[in-house]
Amino acid sequence: MTKKKRPVIEREEVVVKFVGDSGDGMQLTGSMFSDVAAIVGNDLATFPDFPAEIRAPQNTVAGVSGFQVHMGSSKIFTTGDLVDVLVAMNPASLRSNLKWAKKGATILTDTDAYDDKTIEKAGYKANPFTDNSLDGFNMIMAPITTLTKASLQELGVENKIAERSKNMFALGMLYYIFNRDLNSSFKYFEHKFKKKPELIEINKIVLQAGYNYADTIEALESVIQVSAAPMEKGRYRNITGNLGTAWGLLAAAEKSGRPLFLGSYPITPATEILMELAKHKSLGVKVFQAEDEIAGICSAIGASFAGSLACTTTSGPGLSLKSEAIGLAVITELPLVIVNVQRGGPSTGLPTKSEQSDLYQALFGRNGECPVIIVAASTSENCFYYSYMAAKLSMEHMTPAILLTDGYLGFGSTLFRIPKMADMPSINPPIAEANDSDYKPYKRDHETLVRQWAIPGTEGLRHRIGGLEKENVTGVVSSDPINHQVMTDMRAQKVEKVADFIPEQEIDGPDKGDMLVVSWGGTYGSVHSAVSKMQKEGKSISHAHFHYILPLPKNTIKVLKSFKKIVVCELNSGQFVNYLRMKFPMPNIFQFNKVQGLPFMINELTDKFNQLLEEK
């Protein structure tokens, strides 16, 4: 391979986005690119950007599919706001993604994809190459389709098949631009196409051709080097949030010795958890695809009664359907993990976009006084840990727990340092012993107020529970007014006492100062990045990111009181902020909100924080 001597420019972090028509294979291209980044030791986060329609018309904006990779030689917290390198395989994908390109970004596009028809279908009035819209970008215009076909001519590959590998040509070019090695992709082809050896050859040739082509072109003045990030030693893999959630539940089941049951109904963006768990029957998980969300949660309640770690997974509209049944799990005081991978609402809303607008629903969306534990994951990787913790707390405290994640976390991926099961915290559900003559359904532990889990089939523990209020201790049906007060208080206190078993709230930065930025859930990466940027500029600003919502960590009030101003950032109209105001009425709690189905941009956060800091 001939390599021109081009200067190598070292970059700390780069955002690359692959976009094209749904049929162009952008998901595969993007994930192959990110795999190589991972292997050379970059930290990274990725996000797939699928069209909402399954088969949108070809070459339209609606049919654009994308895959974004944010990689760096230092810790990566987000999937990246604006892109440094955009690979756009057709006019529609260029048009719809240009707004995400940084000033001066490198844009690689396939000139063969531009003709009157595709340009018009993309919604362009004129050819973008001639209308000045691309001024200021570093354009690499390559006849990718033609070159791909040419590279395969010798093999005598049909044009149609040749065309399909044009994404590998683009990938080859990117490997050159990023000074990457082709070998791991070659290995990947050998593995993936074991049964179709002709495809191994085709893909290798095209990838190499793209690489070589990039070497020859004028448009490239330098190549980019992103070096390995200093990472904790260990074994790593990629993980999406939904995979992490699913595996966290499997891990909690194994650790607690309780078999895993999932009752669920498909809904974007939560379905992957259901699909993932369905694959792991070898671990004994029982997955029930129910006729609706209500049956999903009700079957889980039945399974929980029968002694399983029972879970139900859904997204916003599905959580609405589950409300009544969550109440049943609350009053029966059975463990149950309810995962809500949030999406844009209300109603069907923005099903493929992310939001944090189900917090009120999780907190308050049920009839009666109906508290549950609420936990929120903040990265794709820690979905594993927080689904594990939701399961642990739910079982140990005999109370349902809602785990909030969101579409960005669910679909996005990050590197995941593989833990050892032996190092995971122990889980000890309060299982009642056979023939315990003192057993009473609502006899409680004095400290935690937790009742015991008496599992059907166990000798000497027959009992009935249900939706009617029960007398404390005995569990006999009771409508006694004082008892109802007692039970209502017990259920609430039992949840509050979970605060004794969760870590204190951590502060990123000094533990007092001018301003505390508060966030929760999937916004961690962008808020953290914005705050640390300002900390580097010498601003008095700290960050508290909440994972435990109900109960809140015990030191929450102390944390809030240590700052002159507090600003709570959320992708909703202000739900966590109002929850905090309700719990801790303080005049200095400000808010910053966005409900566009999009994550926060780092500069919109820093602008807001700076403005608040300056205001007297």
Partner 1 sequence: MDFINMTVERTNVQLTKADFESDQMVKWCPGCGGHAILAAIERVFPKIGYRKENFCMISGIGCSSRFPYYVNTYGIHGIHGRAAAISTGVKIANPRLSVWTITGDGDSLAIGGNHFIHVIRRNVDLNILLFNNQIYGLTKGQYSPTTPMGKITKTSPMGTIEHPFNIGELVMGAQGTFFARVPDNNIALMTDCMFEAAKHDGTSVTEIMENCVIFADKAHAPVTGKDVKDETMLILKDGSPMVFGKNNEKGLILKDTMLDVVEIGKNGITIEDILVHDQYSQDPGIQLMLAKLAPPHFPMVFGVIRSAMYPTYDDLVEEQIKFARETSKIKNVDDLLNSGDTWEI
The residues binding partner 1 (CB under 8 A) are 35, 38-39, 41, 231-238, 247, 250-251, 254, 259, 261, 263, 280-284, 286, 288, 290-292, 294-295, 298-308, 310, 324-325, 327-328, 332, 418-421, 456-468, 476-477
Query: Least Å distance between CB 236 and partner 1?
Result: 6
Nearer to partner 1, 265 or 579 (CB): 265
Query: Least Å distance between CB 123 and partner 1?
Result: 38
* Gap between the Cα atoms of 279 and 417, Å rounded: 22
Helix or strand holding residue 150 (H, E): helix 144-151
Nearer to partner 1, 62 or 468 (CB): 468
* Gap between the Cα atoms of 88 and 86, Å rounded: 6
Q: Give the CA-trace dihedral at 323, 324, 328, 334, to 10 degrees.
A: -20
Strands 13-21 and 64-72: antiparallel
Query: Least Å distance between CB 367 and partner 1?
Result: 11
Query: Least Å distance between CB 355 and partner 1?
Result: 29
Residue with tokens 């079982």: 395
* Gap between the Cα atoms of 214 and 172, Å rounded: 8
Query: Least Å distance between CB 203 and partner 1?
Result: 18
CB of 495 within 8 A of CB of 397?
A: yes
Nearer to partner 1, 173 or 250 (CB): 250
Residue 588 neighbours by CB distance under 10 Å: 13
Nearer to partner 1, 14 or 300 (CB): 300
Residue 413 to residues 230, 333, 379, Cα–Cα distance (Å): 19, 35, 9
Q: Is residue 611 helix, strand or coil?
A: helix
Nearer to partner 1, 195 or 235 (CB): 235
Tokens standing for residue 349: 């809303």
Residue 114 to residues 21, 65, 90, 144, 351, Cα–Cα distance (Å): 13, 18, 7, 11, 31
In DSSP notation, 413-428 reads EEEEEPPPGGGSPP--
Tokens standing for residue 393: 């707390």
Nearer to partner 1, 57 or 234 (CB): 234
Nearer to partner 1, 152 or 330 (CB): 330
Query: Least Å distance between CB 192 and partner 1?
Result: 12
Query: Least Å distance between CB 1 and partner 1?
Result: 25
Query: Least Å distance between CB 157 and partner 1?
Result: 28
Nearer to partner 1, 292 or 607 (CB): 292
**Is the previous residue joined to 143 through a cis bond, with omega within 30 degrees of 0?**
no
Residue with tokens 């997974």: 313
Query: Least Å distance between CB 48 and partner 1?
Result: 17
Residue with tokens 């994951």: 377
Query: Least Å distance between CB 91 and partner 1?
Result: 34
Nearer to partner 1, 318 or 345 (CB): 318
Nearer to partner 1, 328 or 487 (CB): 328
The alpha carbon dihedral of 37, 39, 44, 47 has a sign of: positive
The alpha carbon dihedral of 196, 197, 202, 205 has a sign of: positive
